[in-house]
Every structure is written in structure tokens, then in C-alpha cells.
Chain A
Amino acid sequence: MFELLGIPPQALFGQLLLGLINGAFYAMLSLGLAVIFGMLNVINFTHGAQYMMGAFAAWLLLGILDVPFWASLVIAPIIVGLFGIVLEKLLLKRIYHLDHLYGFLLTFGLALVIEGLFQWKWGSSGAPYPNPIPGGFNLGFMFLPTYRGFVVLAALVICLATWYGIERTKLGAYLRAATENPTLVRAFGINVPRLITLTYGLGVGLAALAGVLAAPIQQVSALMGVNLVLVVFAVVVIGGMGSIMGSIVTGFGLGLIEGLTKVFYPPASNTVIFVVMALVLLIKPAGLFGQTK
């Protein structure tokens, strides 16, 4: 067995894998946040709660209707996405003309309501979700649990598919154009309010999908998204919200940095992302991939 800087390779690669998994969730969540912000001008504070709802939806589908994980991977995001659409139609659309702060406050309030209700109904201690692909591979330098490898791959595919959808398809062109100049896009005959609703539904669905993927790794609990969304805010500040690829790279990169910190200086692992944020604010205030202002 060789050692790297006094760290056994098992521990090093194990933490790197954990970092990669966390990074996968940061990437998926910051992506949705950026897409929603582009169209709605709202920082969706409810994102963490919607991630939690995705995990819960999968857990309830399994517990009540015996729906397997693979089906939940599709059904749960649709359910939560539809819930997002209802929220947008009923509440969010009333505040687009106001300062961004009100969107932030409104979605913060919604997050409190949603998380509070789940906590009230199911308590705050978590429930386990069975691992859909148990087992793993011995890679020689480390043991790779199959499901964890799958999560990283799935997240990569989801992120790239989102990138493709936005940068290379017709619907994506509508989205990009409407982010720039919604009035003109509407004057071309496109129903922009419907596009906005759809975008919110997709962004929320993306958060829920991340939640479903997280369910077998983490405990399914009402508060699983509370701290996560705060970290994702820092990720978004670091990356800037202008670039889809930027969000993906920043998300995975910060997960890895967090993993490395866990190896070399564990007490700082919770705070390292915020330290990175402070450094980025010092050096490049607009964010790594952000345009100035």
C-alpha cells in the first residue's frame, strides 16, 4: 500500500468520491437555480424544499404504491414539477414586476411552509431509502459502491442534457431569447408567460430529480434541503449565473474541493466553500463565469 502525503489512498479516493457526489448535487441544483433566475428573475429559495420533496415523493411512492426507484426517477420529478407550476401560477407570477428581494422573501416563506408541513407530518428524523443497486467494485485503490458511481454518472448526464436542451434546441433558443428580451419574444407570437411557467416547472423538476437520486444515499427527511440550499447559494455566487457550463463546472469543482478538505483538514470541510466564495469576491466579484454586473 502506498501513501500520499501520509494519507492512505482508500481514505483519499473515498473522500474524493464523496466530494464528487456532493458536487453532482451542487451542479444539478445550481443549474436549476440559474435557469429559473434567468427567466423569472427570482432566486428560488424553495429549491432546497423541492429537492426534499423529490426524495419524499420517491419514498412515499415506494412505501405506499410499491413504485420502484427507476420509475420514481421519472414520476417524482413530474409530480414535484407540477407542484412548482401550481406555485408559479398562483403566487410567483404576482411578484415579477417587483424588486428581486420580494421573490427571495416569497420563496423563503414558501420553503418554511413546505418544510414545516413535512416536519409536522413526518418528523425531522430521517427515513432510509433502500439502495436500488447494492454491491460495488473493487478498483484496487478503493471500493466503489455501484450506486454512488451511478449517481455521479447520472448527474453528469442530467447536467449535459440540460446544457444541450438550453443551448442546442428550439425550446432552449426561446428560453435564451426570452431571458434577454421577453417583450420582443412575446411580440413574435410566443406565449412568454407560459414559457416562464414551464421553466419554473422544469427547474423545480430538476431539483426534485436530484432529490430522488439523493434518497438512497442520504436519509429522507424534511430538513435535508435546508443547509444544502444555502451552500448552493454560495456555489451560485462563486460561479455566477450567466453560464450553464459554468454552473456545472463550479458545482463539481467545489464538491471536489470540499472532499479534499475533508481529507487534509476535516474541521474546515463545512466552511471551505464559503471561504472560496470570500476569495472569489475578493478577486473576481462577478463570479468565475459571470459577466461584470
Chain B
Amino acid sequence: MAETLLKVAGLQAWYGESHILHGVDFEIRRGELVTLLGRNGAGKTTTLRSIMGILGKRTGSIAFEGRETTGMTSDHIARLGIAYCPEERGIFSSLNVDENLRLPPVVKPGGLSIEEIYKLFPNLLERRYSQGTKLSGGEQQMLAIGRILRTGATLLLLDEPTEGLAPVIVQRIGEIIRQLKSRGFTILLVEQNFHFAATVADRHYVMEDGRVIDTVASSDVQQSIGKLQSYLGV
């Protein structure tokens, strides 16, 4: 069994005065694809942002490759090899596609080259000199994912990459995520779309009220479907 890459223990986090995470525990091993499932407001995005060090106040422990990161600033954390693709995608409107793609600095060797990324997302190559925010929603999502593949980061945090996209594109993103996993990336995926998540992940952590309340292995999904549906309220 592969080593533990990320271990989150007793994580608490705040947005200003409001206490969002009340002790989150989970771990990811190298090469795994794990999802965080849960309803709106369960704390999934906040968990990603805490790992990335974007939130101001957080306590508990987040260890990446055995190193404690709760005391670090987000640029420092990124340089350890964690990359983040936010829910709102965060494409820069004052940068064209190519500039967006080349923006995140390379932090480690082993990332994809620009050519490989364009091969993965041929649409982006066609539109490389367009303004980043002039792309369609699906293309913007691909740009947001493509952008973090160059940096050499080993852990990718993807926040709802399928949100608001057409089924064809969701399918395409599913293929890409599987391809990334096969290339050895470790992926933490936040999803509301459980059916999508079930097709790509090794394991699912279910969150509610700022805690992880259950773990379901992909192989057990069929048996646990009723339980999962009640968690997610679908």
C-alpha cells in the first residue's frame, strides 16, 4: 500500500467570526483519487481552502508528505507541491489563455509540458490568444485544470470541476481526471455530482456540518447507495 500523502486531523477553520469546520479527519495516499461529498455548506470547499492555506484562521493538523503546513502561507504550501483549482475557476480576464496557462510557476520537476497540456486540451490551443474569460464554461474549466498540471504539483485539489457543465463536457472531464490519475497525480475532488464522483474515485469521504461523518470505498458504492442518498439529500 502506498504511503500517506496528505493527512488531515482535527481540522477546525473559521471564516471571520463563523466557525465552519469542527474537526475534519481524513487522509489520502499517494496516487489515490478521493472525493469529498456532502451537501452545500457541509464544509467541502472550506476544507480545500484550509489545505491550501487561503483561510485566515485554522487549527488542528494538515500534514503533507509528513510536513505540518498549518503554519505556512499559501504560496509556501503551493511550493510544496499542492495545486488548487477553485470552484469559480479563477480564470484571469486580463490574461489570455496562454498567459493563464503559464501563470502558475513550476515548483517541482515532473509536471506536464505546455505541449502535453495543449494535446490534452486541443480547444485551448486553438484559442490560445483569446482573453481567458471569453472562453465557454467548459473551456474555462479545462483551462483551470490544465493550468495546474504544469507546476509539478503532486496533489491536485479540484473543487466541483463539473458544476454547471453540459453532460458531454462532464464526461470529457471525467476522462481527463482518470487520465491524470493514471499519470500518477493524487487528486482530492470536491463534488456534489455523486454519479460523476462514483465513476472516477477510489474512495469517498462524506462531510456534514464541518466534519467527515463516513467513508465509502468505491467498491461498496452499490451497497451503500441508499445511505449515500440520504447523506446528500438527493
Chains A and B touch each other in the complex, with CB atoms below 8 Å apart: yes
Where the two chains meet, the residues of A that have a C-beta atom closer than 8 Å to any C-beta of B are 170, 173-174, 176-177, 179-181, 183-192
Where the two chains meet, the residues of B that have a C-beta atom closer than 8 Å to any C-beta of A are 52-54, 73-75, 77-79, 83-84, 86, 90, 92-95, 99, 102-105, 107, 148, 151
Q: Please determine whether B74 and A174 come into contact, CB atoms closer than 8 angstroms.
A: no
Nearest CB to that of A38 among chain B residues?
B94
Determine the distance from Cα of A183 to Cα of B99 in the docked complex, in whole angstroms.
18
B50 to chain A, nearest CB (A): 12
B69 to chain A, nearest CB (A): 13
Which 7 pairs of residues, A with B, have the shortest CB-CB distance? A189-B78, A188-B104, A176-B94, A184-B90, A187-B74, A177-B92, A189-B79
A170, A186, A189, A191: the one contacting B151 at CB < 8 Å is A189
Determine the distance from Cα of A181 to Cα of B107 in the docked complex, in whole angstroms.
20
Determine the distance from Cα of A186 to Cα of B93 in the docked complex, in whole angstroms.
17
Q: Is the interface of B mostly helix, strand, loop or mixed?
A: loop
Q: Please determine whether B95 and A186 come into contact, CB atoms closer than 8 angstroms.
A: no
Nearest CB to that of A166 among chain B residues?
B94
Nearest CB to that of B107 among chain A residues?
A189
Q: Please determine whether A188 and B92 come into contact, CB atoms closer than 8 angstroms.
A: no
Determine the distance from Cα of A15 to Cα of B67 in the docked complex, in whole angstroms.
67
Q: Please determine whether A189 and B92 come into contact, CB atoms closer than 8 angstroms.
A: no
CB contacts (< 8 Å) of B77 on chain A: these are 187
CB contacts (< 8 Å) of B75 on chain A: these are 186-192
Determine the distance from Cα of A174 to Cα of B95 in the docked complex, in whole angstroms.
9
Determine the distance from Cα of A59 to Cα of B29 in the docked complex, in whole angstroms.
64
B98 to chain A, nearest CB (A): 10
Show 24 residue pairs from A and B whose CB-CB distance is below 8 angstroms, ordered by the A residue: A170-B102, A173-B102, A173-B103, A174-B103, A176-B94, A177-B92, A177-B94, A177-B95, A180-B92, A180-B93, A180-B94, A181-B92, A186-B54, A186-B74, A187-B52, A187-B53, A187-B54, A187-B74, A188-B75, A188-B78, A188-B104, A189-B151, A190-B104, A190-B105
Q: Please determine whether A187 and B84 come into contact, CB atoms closer than 8 angstroms.
A: yes
Determine the distance from Cα of A184 to Cα of B83 in the docked complex, in whole angstroms.
10
CB contacts (< 8 Å) of B95 on chain A: these are 173, 176-177
Determine the distance from Cα of A292 to Cα of B133 in the docked complex, in whole angstroms.
18
Determine the distance from Cα of A179 to Cα of B94 in the docked complex, in whole angstroms.
9
Determine the distance from Cα of A181 to Cα of B93 in the docked complex, in whole angstroms.
10
Q: Please determine whether A187 and B92 come into contact, CB atoms closer than 8 angstroms.
A: no
A195 to chain B, nearest CB (A): 10
A131 to chain B, nearest CB (A): 41
Nearest CB to that of A191 among chain B residues?
B75
Nearest CB to that of B89 among chain A residues?
A184
CB contacts (< 8 Å) of B83 on chain A: these are 188
B84 to chain A, nearest CB (A): 5
